[in-house]
């Protein structure tokens, strides 16, 4: 695979997703670089598929396709075009070009896998697609398994989460070791996927804390903890086992390996999965409502100060009911000021969801849009409850481990 996109972030996203499927991938930032690679493929041989963004400076995706299709020598690769503007617009702009596939942003692991298979043609490329997500044999026993993914890198969380969700796994997330310990204490997980290198509390420490807690409460069943590391060294594996982990996966995570290891540690509890799902409800929370790692990084990693900020936040945040009362009484200035305060304070602690709701609420108050004010007041109340729950859990665990 050869990925062409001006955005370094998006190139990294696609690269990780493709590697997860077991595919070989290279990336370039411009159409000219792409053409150079196609003319000089190196020892790996010709590329099977070019995945190109449509809107790029200089040479856009359509112009690039025209040049590739007119190659006079060599194998012409299949072409998958990605757009954030709508596939219909892209098809119109491309005219009669024979592009092999279309994909709209935001790209997910499942949509990318399906688009690749369609572009290459499943029947003619079975071997090339052996690692593709849709070709992976999903162990039936892991459907309904509840897994906590502990990873500070948002992209890695997304990739691992999508692999698991596609297999029917119920996924929750934590951004560091402190959040992981708190989540395991409060949740009912069948397994934990634990990154090793994380801020605030690394994976080894978190695993040790979890094992100590299990021993303290005399927990009958030890939750399997699977390490995720960038190294396959024997020493790294040994350290993980000593910290209380049960198995080890090397990054970039391969979908087949992930599902196989997970099935190995959870398949024996298939009946228990159904009981837990019935007892504790359906989908767990998909993402942390507070990005604690990012918020703490903004204050130079000062955990003690962050805990103080969280307590101030909870005790001084203007309640949504008060904001709405001011609005209904015609005191728009006070209502806007309080919504603005919520917006700023929520950004400070890393509560991006509540920050976004407060921003829209502030604008609706300014515009006098009563319907939108009421709508976002409801969302405000719902999100605030989640934020306060997360604050209580984080503070309780952070103070305990310190």
Question: Can you spell out the DSSP letters for 9-44?
Answer: HHHHHHHHHHHHTT---EEESSHHHHHHHHH--GGG
- Indicate the SS3 state at residue 3: strand
- The answer to whether residue 76 sits within a structural domain is yes
| 127 and 160 co-located in one domain | no
Residue 265 pLDDT exceeds 80: yes
- The answer to whether residue 97 sits within a structural domain is yes
Across the chain, what does the average pLDDT equal? 80
| 230 and 326 co-located in one domain | no
| 252 and 347 co-located in one domain | no
Mind listing the pLDDT tens digit for each residue in 150-209? Answer: 998 877 887 888 788 877 888 888 888 888 998 898 778 899 999 998 877 889 999 999
| 343 and 358 co-located in one domain | yes
- Alpha-carbon span 26 to 23, nearest angstrom: 10
Whole-number pLDDT of residue 236 = 74
CB count in 10 Å sphere of residue 255: 27
| 350 and 232 co-located in one domain | no
Whole-number pLDDT of residue 191 = 94
- The answer to whether residue 26 sits within a structural domain is yes
- The answer to whether residue 128 sits within a structural domain is yes
Residue 279 pLDDT exceeds 50: no
Whole-number pLDDT of residue 15 = 85
- In the chain, % of residues over pLDDT 90: 10
- The answer to whether residue 286 sits within a structural domain is no
| 269 and 306 co-located in one domain | no
Whole-number pLDDT of residue 320 = 85
Whole-number pLDDT of residue 150 = 93
Which has the higher per-residue pLDDT, 400 or 147? 147
| 274 and 342 co-located in one domain | no
The predicted model scores a pTM of 0.53
Q: What is the CATH number of the domain that holds 186?
A: 3.40.50.2300
| Max intra-chain CA distance, the chain | 75
Residue 280 pLDDT exceeds 50: no
Q: Residue 87: pLDDT band by 50, 70, 90 thresholds?
A: low
Q: What is the CATH number of the domain that holds 364?
A: 1.20.120
Whole-number pLDDT of residue 112 = 84
Which has the higher per-residue pLDDT, 43 or 325? 325
- Alpha-carbon span 275 to 397, nearest angstrom: 28
**372 is in which domain, residue-wise?**
292-401
Q: Where a domain ends, among 135, 161, 187?
A: 135
- The answer to whether residue 319 sits within a structural domain is yes
| 183 and 73 co-located in one domain | no
Whole-number pLDDT of residue 149 = 93
- Alpha-carbon span 10 to 203, nearest angstrom: 27
Whole-number pLDDT of residue 300 = 65
Whole-number pLDDT of residue 205 = 92
Helices H / strands E in the chain, number of each: 17, 10
Q: Is the peptide bond before 170 cis (omega within 30 degrees of 0)?
A: no
Whole-number pLDDT of residue 349 = 87
- The answer to whether residue 239 sits within a structural domain is yes
Whole-number pLDDT of residue 224 = 94
Residue 10 pLDDT exceeds 70: yes
- Alpha-carbon span 200 to 396, nearest angstrom: 15
Q: Residue 60: pLDDT band by 50, 70, 90 thresholds?
A: confident
């Amino acid at each position: 695979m050869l990925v062409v996109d001006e955005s370094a972030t998006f190139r990294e996203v696609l690269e990780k997703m493709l590697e997860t499927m077991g595919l070989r991938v290279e990336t370039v930032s411009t159409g000219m670089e792409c053409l150079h690679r196609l003319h000089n493929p190196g020892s790996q041989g010709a590329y099977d598929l070019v995945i190109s963004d449509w809107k790029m400076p200089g040479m856009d995706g359509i112009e690039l396709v025209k040049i590739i299709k007119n190659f006079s020598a060599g194998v012409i690769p299949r072409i998958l075009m990605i757009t954030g503007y709508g596939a219909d617009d892209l098809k119109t702009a491309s005219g009669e070009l024979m592009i092999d596939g279309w994909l709209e942003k935001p790209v997910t692991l499942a949509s990318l896998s399906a688009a690749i298979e369609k572009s290459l043609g499943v029947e003619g490329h079975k071997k090339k697609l052996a690692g593709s997500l849709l070709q992976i044999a999903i162990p039936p026993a892991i459907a309904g398994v509840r897994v906590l993914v502990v990873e500070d890198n948002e992209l890695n969380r997304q990739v691992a989460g999508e692999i698991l969700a596609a297999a029917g796994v119920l996924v929750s997330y934590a951004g560091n070791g402190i959040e992981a310990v708190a989540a395991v204490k409060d949740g009912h997980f069948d397994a934990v996927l634990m990154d090793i290198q994380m801020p605030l509390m690394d994976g080894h420490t978190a695993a040790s804390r979890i094992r100590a807690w299990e021993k303290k409460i005399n927990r009958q069943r030890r939750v399997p903890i699977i390490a995720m590391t960038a190294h396959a060294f024997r020493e790294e594996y040994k350290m993980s086992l000593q910290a209380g982990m049960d198995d080890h996966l090397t990054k970039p995570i391969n979908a087949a390996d992930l599902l196989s290891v997970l099935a190995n540690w959870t398949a024996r509890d298939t009946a228990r999965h159904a009981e837990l799902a019935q007892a504790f409800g359906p989908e767990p929370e998909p993402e942390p409502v507070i990005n604690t790692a990012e918020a703490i990084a903004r204050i130079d990693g000062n955990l003690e100060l962050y805990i103080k900020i969280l307590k101030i936040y909870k005790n001084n945040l203007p309640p949504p009911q008060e904001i709405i009362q001011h609005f209904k009484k015609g005191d728009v200035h006070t209502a806007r000021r309080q919504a603005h305060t919520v917006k700023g304070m929520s950004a400070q602690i890393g509560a991006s969801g509540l920050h976004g709701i407060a921003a829209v609420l502030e604008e609706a108050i300014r515009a006098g849009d009563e319907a939108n004010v009421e709508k976002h007041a409801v969302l405000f109340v719902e999100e605030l409850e989640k934020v306060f729950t997360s604050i209580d859990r984080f503070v309780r665990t952070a103070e305990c481990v310190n």
